[in-house]
């Protein structure tokens, strides 16, 4: 009787499994094979100094061309990859490919790579970063890891340990999407970081809404008093850039300066000759 009930429950569960859960399960299955099938590629988005207008580096953004589905947004597949564990192998591929690419760029340019909280919670990440730098010949100071505040809260002690060790190699750490996590100030107090990336949600109203502007100003002041540069994400208009310049923001990234895509080699070479 119990067996029949169990079967019925399972059957009910299978039927009741909503479209969404099924979609995620299939996506997880595909993600596990996507690296070896060569379905991933990288897009690069330029980061510029607001004062000089010079390129300082590029952030690498993962793209997945999923057979039968076309391009899937990382905002959609990264959470699934984190949930099923495929993020470790995928993250390794991203890091390796990005460092290989950046090793051929002229000296001052940095490559910024997003790192998931799942990766950060693994002690192997420390060796992975070290080995990747050795294998690709990229100087440590040219690599920046972007970590969100929420990535840190999972296993705080382990994440902290990894970040310290990686920083000790000379790699820099940026806090991504700053201001959207629920422990912003605590993060600032306890984690080693070299840059604050102001979340793009602050940009939408920075010109029109005094309250948004006041918050941006406060975060910039925070960066200033901690002697840490602040990069504004999601800059789409000249007006936003003007406000940011006036308020003393260090760097900017966004559609106004360049959409994620191929490296602009003219820009890289020109800037390195004039430097």
Residues in touch with Mg ion (CB under 5 A): 114, 146, 176-177, 233
Which of the ranges 5-13, 25-33, 109-117, 242-250 carries the binding residues for ligand C2E, by CB under 6 A? 109-117
Q: Find where tokens 């300082």 sit.
A: 56
Q: Which of 110, 176, 178, 231 binds ligand C2E (CB under 6 A)?
A: 176
Q: Can residue 57 be called a binding residue for ligand C2E (CB under 6 A)? A: no
- C-beta closer to Mg ion: residue 121 or 203: 203
Q: What is the C-alpha R_g of the chain?
A: 21
Instruction: Kindly give, in sequence order, each residue whose CB lies less than 8 Å from that of residue 259, ignoring residues fewer than 6 positions away.
Output: 45
CB-count burial class (<10 Å; 0-12, 13-18, 19+) for 115? buried
- C-beta closer to ligand C2E: residue 66 or 272: 66
Residues 187, 133: Cα–Cα separation, whole Å:
27
Q: Can residue 129 be called a binding residue for ligand C2E (CB under 6 A)? A: no
Instruction: Kindly give, in sequence order, each residue whose CB lies less than 8 Å from that of residue 73, ignoring residues fewer than 6 positions away.
Output: none
Helices of type H across 154-209: 156-168, 184-190
Q: Can residue 75 be called a binding residue for ligand C2E (CB under 6 A)? A: yes
- C-beta closer to Mg ion: residue 82 or 177: 177
Give the residue closest to Mg ion by C-beta.
Answer: 146
Binding site for ligand C2E (CB under 6 A): 45, 61-62, 73-75, 78, 91, 94, 114-116, 146, 176-177, 200, 233-236, 254-255, 260
């Amino acid at each position: 009787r119990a067996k029949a009930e169990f079967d019925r429950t399972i059957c009910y569960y299978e039927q009741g499994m909503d479209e969404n859960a099924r979609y995620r399960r299939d996506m997880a299955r595909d993600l596990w094979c996507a690296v070896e099938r060569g379905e991933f590629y990288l897009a690069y988005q330029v980061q510029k100094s607001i004062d000089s207008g010079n390129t300082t580096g590029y952030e690498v953004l993962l793209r997945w061309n999923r057979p039968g589905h076309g391009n899937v947004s990382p905002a959609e597949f990264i959470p699934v990859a984190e949930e099923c564990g495929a993020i470790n192998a995928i993250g390794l591929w991203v890091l390796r490919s990005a460092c290989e690419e950046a090793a051929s760029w002229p000296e001052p340019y940095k490559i910024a790579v997003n790192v998931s909280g799942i990766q950060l919670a693994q002690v192997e990440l420390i060796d992975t970063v070290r080995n990747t730098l050795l294998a690709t010949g990229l100087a440590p100071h040219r690599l920046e890891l972007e970590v969100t505040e929420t990535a840190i809260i999972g296993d705080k002690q382990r994440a902290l340990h990894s970040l310290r060790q990686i920083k000790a190699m000379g790699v820099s750490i940026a806090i991504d999407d700053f201001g959207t996590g629920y422990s912003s100030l605590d993060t600032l107090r306890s984690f080693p970081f070299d840059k604050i990336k102001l979340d793009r949600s602050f940009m939408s109203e920075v010109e029109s809404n005094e309250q948004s502007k006041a918050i941006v100003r406060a975060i910039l002041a925070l960066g200033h008093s901690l002697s840490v540069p602040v990069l504004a994400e999601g800059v789409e208009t000249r007006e936003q850039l003007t406000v940011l310049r006036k308020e003393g923001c260090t760097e900017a990234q966004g559609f106004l300066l360049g959409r994620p895509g191929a490296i602009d080699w003219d820009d890289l070479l020109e800037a390195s000759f004039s430097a």
